[in-house]
Amino acid sequence: MTAGPAARAAARMRPGTGLVRWLAAIGAGLAGFALFVAIAGGSPAAALQAIWSSTVVDAVGPGEVLVAAAPVILCALAVAIPAWAGLWNLGGEGQLVVGAIGATVVSQALPSSLGSWAALPLLLAGGAIGGALWCAIPAVLRVTVNLNEAISSLLLSYVALRLLDYLVNGPWKDPRSLGFPQAEPLPDGHRLGGLDWLPVAGGGRLHTGLLIALAAVAAAVVAHRHTTWGFRLRVVGGNGEAARRGGLPVKRLIVGAMVAGGALAGVAGMVQLSGVEFQAKGGIAGAYGFLGFLVSWLVRHDPRWIVLAGIAIGAVRVGGDALQIDANLPAASVNVLLALLLLAILARGRGRRRSA
Amino acid sequence: MIEAVLAGAVRGGSSILFAALGETVSERAGVINLSTEGSMLCGALAAYATAVETGSAWLGVLAGAAAGMALAMLFAAVVVFRAANQLATGIVVLFLALGVTSLLGRDYVGQGVDGFTRWDVPGLSDIPFVGTVLFAHDPLTYLALLAAPLVWWLMFRTTPGLMVRAAGERPEVLVATGHSPNLVRLAAVAAGGLLAGIGGAQISTALALNWSENMIQGRGFVAVALVIFAAWNPMGALAGALFFGGIESLQLQLQAEGVSVPADLLNALPYLATIAVLVLFSRRRLHAAPDGLTSVFETSP
């Protein structure tokens, strides 16, 4: 940086500068996205129109955004909690998938006549345990052979995706699915209830998974700033060597943080299974793990801001689906918009720290 | 069958080798580029589209290398000059690559291409066993095998290589000799993206001979992992890439032989094997890491 600290502080204090920069970042992101759509032979106006109407104008739009936000928020917490202890969990995708597998295992083991008040907590536990176990692998490898958890959790995601492929193509394949690789649909009692009484739902498919995500955020906020555990994790994250010499059980704290994070990603898998898809199938991961990672990093792993950022990213996700349906573009093309917006924020230097 | 597995290891491993060599150069300069995966994707599409439009697979490779390099330079600009977090920026740039390639590649899905064909090395390919394993491949495979010692030589025997290593270990030395560590890092990451782009080009125009959305399937991440296994040494990357290619090829052979293990589970084998070798070798590798990398994994704001 050429500008000195004093000059930077002055720039920060000038009224309106921050807002102008935010608007410039958003404008640059939208312009870049429109350019790529035009190059690909699509209509930028139609694409932006599809994103806008699917998230804001349509009656079900805001509700759909919240439906997508729930797994993003949970996966963001799955990154944030290990990050307090200085760990990178890049495997939310795989933990979500194993969570969905765990919930499906529980669902198949339960009698379908069991009431939802008993079944849903058990499915939730199945999801949490699945995600926790999957995340325990990189955690244990980290504390035993010092293998970098970012790399191992990332690679394990691909293993989890193949495992799900195997299950829905093989032992779990629904004979009535007309050849589609998907498991049998969940019985009604194993599905999360709707929140259609909320005005924001617009009569859409908003479900109680959102409340599960919000409860998890509340618990994380308390744990982060108001519990000994959260404090200890932050000490480990701040200076692991000092924490060890200070007598903290660093290894146990590291594994605990990863397992807690994995459990929350697993809950995201259960929420997607019981609230959206209603059956195990290949696309259930939906990049929510990676989106959660971006959210957590964007808010510097502070759970207080995860809800807001999660809703914003959820809106991008819904916009992507609308591109496919309304503008005849691949759903993944919305990633251009997402990435350009995030790059514009990055280039503002918000994450500026000493050069690595 | 052993012959077929080994030949497949060399062929399949070489695309990973390009990416792993590129990531070695990048990490030696102190930059972890998770968007190696993205550079491979961009390389795969650019090469495929160029080969389809011009009919020349070699022009395709040039385009793939350029596309991989362009993406890596965008990553480097944000990471090196704005000091943004490397892992997060890598994932963001990967998302950009996913979006751009799915958008620009939609017309190429399912289209045929005149890609690379096998070119037997005259004379050598007739040697029994060795000939089939080493000398009966597409041209890019030979290029990859030659690139490994070349990158080793560049890194450890030339001044530019010394500068790249200094950028990762002792940037103050570069400053003292009148060079900019940041410019050296930018160049190293760009070179890494260029190699990853060629690796992607090989996957679409020599191995798969088609283009599909997100077709790299984590191979770029595997390349990043293999660099740790290789202890940041290009010749180690060669060994790691051949190992990954070998497991992938063994898995395909087992499927072809009709082994009763389901294909989806066998598909997970290369990723599991990569983690396994990292576990076996990680303890004694870590001290080989360039100094500049240690701060990458700090999460505290």
Contact criterion met (CB below 8 Å) for A181 and A165: yes
Residue B2: exposed, middle, or buried by beta-carbon count in 10 A (0-12, 13-18, 19+)? Answer: exposed
pLDDT band at B288 (very low <50, low <70, confident <90, very high): confident
Contact A332 B214 (CB under 8 A): yes
Chain A residues with CB-CB distance to B78 below 8 A: 343, 346-347
Q: Which amino acid is at A207?
A: H
**Among candidate residues B144, B150, B145, B192, the one with its CA nearest the CA of residue B168:** B192
B139-157 burial, b at 16+ Cβ within 10 Å, e below that, comes to bbbbbbbebbeebbebbee
Of B93, B213, B296, the CB nearest to A339: B93
Taking the Cβ of residue A246 and every Cβ of chain B, the question of whether any pair is shorter than 8 Å is answered with no
Kind and range of the H or E element at B137?
Answer: strand B136-137
Of B224, B271, B298, the CB nearest to A158: B271
Query: Helices B57-76 and B86-104: crossing angle, nearest 10°?
Result: 140
Contact B103 A86 (CB under 8 A): no
How far does the CA of residue B220 sit from the closest CA of chain A (Å)?
A: 10
Most confidently predicted of A40-44, A185-189, B17-21, B121-125? B17-21
What value does the mean pLDDT take over residues B229-245?
92
Residue B267 has pLDDT above 60, yes or no: yes
pLDDT band at A40 (very low <50, low <70, confident <90, very high): confident
Which three-class secondary structure state does DSSP give residue A281? Answer: strand
pLDDT digits (tens, 9 = 90+) for B115-155: 888 888 888 888 888 888 888 888 999 999 999 999 999 99
Please give the C-alpha separations between residue B119 and each of B62, B116, B124, B132, B165, in angstroms, as whole numbers. 19, 9, 12, 11, 36
**In 10 A of CB A17, how many CB atoms?**
12
Angle at B224 between CA B223 and CA B226, to 5 degrees: 60
How far does the CA of residue B207 sit from the closest CA of chain A (Å)?
A: 21
Residue numbers of B between 195 and 214 with CB closer than 8 Å to A: 213-214
Which three-class secondary structure state does DSSP give residue A67? Answer: helix
Residue B293: DSSP 8-state? G
Contact A170 B264 (CB under 8 A): yes
pLDDT band at A155 (very low <50, low <70, confident <90, very high): very high
Q: What's the pLDDT at A75?
A: 97
Taking the Cβ of residue B299 and every Cβ of chain A, the question of whether any pair is shorter than 8 Å is answered with yes
Q: Which amino acid is at B186?
A: L
Torsion of CA A170, A176, A179, A180, to 10 degrees: -80
Q: Token pair for residue A193?
A: 């209830």
Angle at A96 between CA A91 and CA A98, to 5 degrees: 95
pLDDT band at A1 (very low <50, low <70, confident <90, very high): very low
Residue B56: DSSP 8-state? -
Kind and range of the H or E element at B204?
Answer: none
Contact B299 A155 (CB under 8 A): no
Q: What's the pLDDT at A136?
A: 97
Contact B271 A159 (CB under 8 A): yes
Taking the Cβ of residue B228 and every Cβ of chain A, the question of whether any pair is shorter than 8 Å is answered with yes
Contact criterion met (CB below 8 Å) for A54 and A224: no
Chain B residues with CB-CB distance to A342 below 8 A: 92, 95
Contact A163 B300 (CB under 8 A): no
Chain B residues with CB-CB distance to A163 below 8 A: 264-265, 268
Contact B107 A41 (CB under 8 A): yes
Residue B299 has pLDDT above 60, yes or no: no
Contact A147 B100 (CB under 8 A): no
Residue A302: DSSP 8-state? -
Residue B199 has pLDDT above 90, yes or no: yes
Query: Helices A228-238 and A250-272: crossing angle, nearest 10°?
Result: 110
Could you tell me which chain B residue has the CA closest to the CA of A153? B275
Of A88, A162, A329, the CB nearest to B299: A88
Taking the Cβ of residue A237 and every Cβ of chain B, the question of whether any pair is shorter than 8 Å is answered with yes
Mutate to test the interface with A, among B79, B103, B183 (most CBs of A within 10 A): B103
Residue numbers of B between 124 and 183 with CB closer than 8 Å to A: 182
Chain B residues with CB-CB distance to A37 below 8 A: 103
The residues near B52 (Cβ < 8 Å, ≥ 6 apart) are B108, B111, B113
What value does the mean pLDDT take over residues A150-174?
93
Contact B103 A145 (CB under 8 A): no
- Measure the CA–CA gap between B249 and B240, rounded to whole angstroms: 14
What value does the mean pLDDT take over residues A247-267?
95
Quickly tell me which residue has 């605990």 as its tokens. Answer: A256
**In 10 A of CB A66, how many CB atoms?**
26
Residue A184 has pLDDT above 70, yes or no: yes
Q: Which of A87-96, A145-154, B41-50 has the lowest mean pLDDT?
A: A145-154
Of A141, A169, A338, the CB nearest to B95: A338
Chain B residues with CB-CB distance to A261 below 8 A: none
Please give the C-alpha separations between residue A302 and each of A30, A81, A309, A352, B300, in angstroms, as whole numbers. 27, 9, 11, 17, 11
Alpha helices in A40-115 (DSSP H): 44-52, 61-84, 92-109
HSE (side-chain half, CA atoms, 13 Å) at B29: 30
Kind and range of the H or E element at B287?
Answer: none
Q: What's the pLDDT at B71?
A: 97
Taking the Cβ of residue A200 and every Cβ of chain B, the question of whether any pair is shorter than 8 Å is answered with no
Residue A6 has pLDDT above 80, yes or no: no
Q: Which of A6-10, A32-36, B19-23, B251-255 has the lowest mean pLDDT?
A: A6-10
What value does the mean pLDDT take over residues B228-240?
91
Q: Token pair for residue A143?
A: 């504390």
Contact criterion met (CB below 8 Å) for B196 and B67: no
Q: Which amino acid is at A248?
A: L
How far does the CA of residue B199 sit from the closest CA of chain A (Å)?
A: 19
Residue A64: exposed, middle, or buried by beta-carbon count in 10 A (0-12, 13-18, 19+)? Answer: buried
* β-bridge mates for residue B120, sequence order: B136
What value does the mean pLDDT take over residues B16-44?
95
